[in-house]
Amino acid sequence: MNDVDPNLVEDPYPLQNLIGFRMRDWSKDYARFDLDLRDELMNRYGIPHGGVYAMLLDTVMGYSGSYTGDPDRRRLAMTLSMTTNFLSRPTGTTLIGEGRRRGGGASTFFSEGTITDEANTLVATATGVFRLRASD
């Protein structure tokens, strides 16, 4: 499943290539990325490391407030604060991160994020405050 306009998909950045998450949907106030679980992402208990959840939540929430719909007018967001809640472990093999912009103004916005798996197990949630970077 990939619902994002291919003209809007940016080339993966180095961390994205390393970890392996993929953009699946991006629209006004919404972003979705998926990540297939593999051994390198697990902690010593054999479950995904909490930092993997935090990274995916940070990504989807930041993207949710950065959409312009114009590939020539990109916006970048910086995380000002983020609160993450670890709820359970996945029962599936793919993490699905979704971010939703919930409010804000011209330069700062608020977002909520969730991580589920393909079995619809809610794994983690987050809220965050983000600042849009000034245009170069």
Range of the domain at 90: 14-132
CATH code at position 105: 3.10.129.10
Q: Are the C-beta atoms of 12 and 35 separated by less than 8 Å? A: no
Look at residue 69 and tell me if it is in a domain.
yes
Residue pLDDT, tens place only, 29-71? 999 999 999 999 999 999 999 999 999 999 999 999 999 999 8
Look at residue 100 and tell me if it is in a domain.
yes
Residue pLDDT, tens place only, 64-91? 999 999 988 889 999 999 999 999 999 9
What total number of domains does the chain contain?
Answer: 1
Token readout for 39 is 């051994």
Look at residue 104 and tell me if it is in a domain.
yes
Look at residue 4 and tell me if it is in a domain.
no
CA distance 117 to 93: 7
Question: pTM (2 decimals)?
Answer: 0.93
CB-based contacts of 132: which residues, under 8 Å, 6+ apart? Answer: 65, 66, 75, 76, 77, 106, 107, 108, 109
Q: Are the C-beta atoms of 26 and 97 separated by less than 8 Å? A: no
